[in-house]
Amino acid sequence: MKPRNFVRLEFPSFPANVGLARIAIATFATQLEFTLGELEEIRVAVSEAVSNCVIHAYPDSPGQVELEAVIEDGCLEIGITDYGKGIDDIALARTPAFSTDPERMGLGLVFMESFMDSLEVQSEPGKGTRIRMRKKPESECDGPRRV
Amino acid sequence: MLEELSNRQSDQRKVQAHKRPGKLGNHGNLLEGMDLFLPKDSYRICGAKGGILLLLSTEKKGNHLLVKIGGELDLSTSPRFREKVEEELNYDPSIKHLVLDLQDTTFIDSSGLGVILGRFKRISAQGGKLLAVRVPSHLVKVFELSGLLRIMEICPTPEDAQKSLLGG
């Protein structure tokens, strides 16, 4: 069994850091046998999660974002934590096309859910949000991953 | 950040600082003197803050605006796309349709899709259409999932888009 590997990044919620986050995690993910298509999906999922921190968690002034990724037992796990506004209604936020801004599609959580094998959202209004996503290369799966 | 590429003939170009004062102040010279390997058509670098490049070029063809998008369209760069296209639409009211050339687009997320949707809302209010050409395979899934394909026609080439707009 390969040893556990991990990476941890902390950065302010600047839009310019969204690209840094997705490139860092996609590069880390190449240690597993992900296809180019799967790496693209990981890039989109991370981009959505960090963009949500910038737009929704800290709408008024930049705050701290913590990004962690772990490779263990052939699986990639990504955690994104902020200490911002939090989500009032997680179920509503996961609804496709839920957005209060006409220039936004409200698809952030939908993309994360679609592109990763699993997505967990923990949030408390006024305290922040933690997103946890997992993905395993299709080539290492015995059977269908999704139910 | 606004820098202009002066040499249209060569693939390898030196970035020159734009003569107009850049909106980003001291970051305006960040790319000056760097070698960039770009497609043969002329591009304008519309956003490189944070290391993510968005390369845009616009060209009016008949009653549509062809917008070539190179690089990554995300939260950081999508405002540049919105500003550039709005500027062109405001400048020339005869532009009815919008055609996006995505051949050199390496990444789009929902922030990028959002600004595309915003421009669709504007042109469709005037009876215009939104088309995309030369869409790379890695972008197809985000377009499918977003539902944007219900309002955006995909054509193989810019010439096909032009024929489609002419009803051919």
Cβ–Cβ below 8 Å for A18 and B146: no
For residue B48, being part of any structural domain is answered with yes
Position B112 scores a pLDDT of 95
Nearest to A111 among B76, B110, B147 (CB): B110
For residue B50, being part of any structural domain is answered with yes
For residue B121, being part of any structural domain is answered with yes
Show the domain range for B129: 41-165
For residue B57, being part of any structural domain is answered with yes
Cβ–Cβ below 8 Å for B110 and A105: yes
Report CA torsion sign: A37, B35, B111, A50. Answer: positive
Looking at the structure of chain B, the number of domains it has is 1
Query: Which residue out of B72, B76, B144 would a mutagenesis test of the A interface target, given it has the greatest number of A Cβ atoms within 10 Å?
Result: B76
For residue B24, being part of any structural domain is answered with no
Smallest CA-to-CA distance from B67 within B136, B140, B154, B158 is with: B158
Please state, in angstroms and rounded to a whole number, the distance separating the CA atoms of residues B54 and B71.
5
Q: What b-and-e string marks burial along B40-53, b requiring 16 or more CB atoms within 10 Å of the CB? A: eebbbbbbbbbebb
Of the two residues A102 and B29, the one the predictor is more confident about is A102
Helices of type H across chain A? 16-29, 36-52, 90-93, 108-115
For residue B103, being part of any structural domain is answered with yes
pTM: 0.81
For residue B32, being part of any structural domain is answered with no
pLDDT in tens, chain B (168 residues): 333 333 333 333 444 433 333 333 333 444 444 444 444 445 555 555 545 689 999 999 999 999 999 999 999 999 999 999 999 999 999 999 999 999 999 999 999 999 999 999 999 999 999 999 999 999 999 999 998 999 999 999 999 999 999 885
- Stretch 32-91 of chain A: residues touching chain B, C-beta under 8 Å: 36-37, 40-41, 43-44, 47-48, 51, 54-55
Chain B hits for A108, CB-CB cut-off 8 Å, are 110
Cβ–Cβ below 8 Å for B110 and A16: no
pLDDT digits (tens, 9 = 90+) for A48-85: 999 999 999 999 999 999 999 999 999 999 999 999 99
Domain harbouring B83, CATH code: 3.30.750.24
For residue B23, being part of any structural domain is answered with no
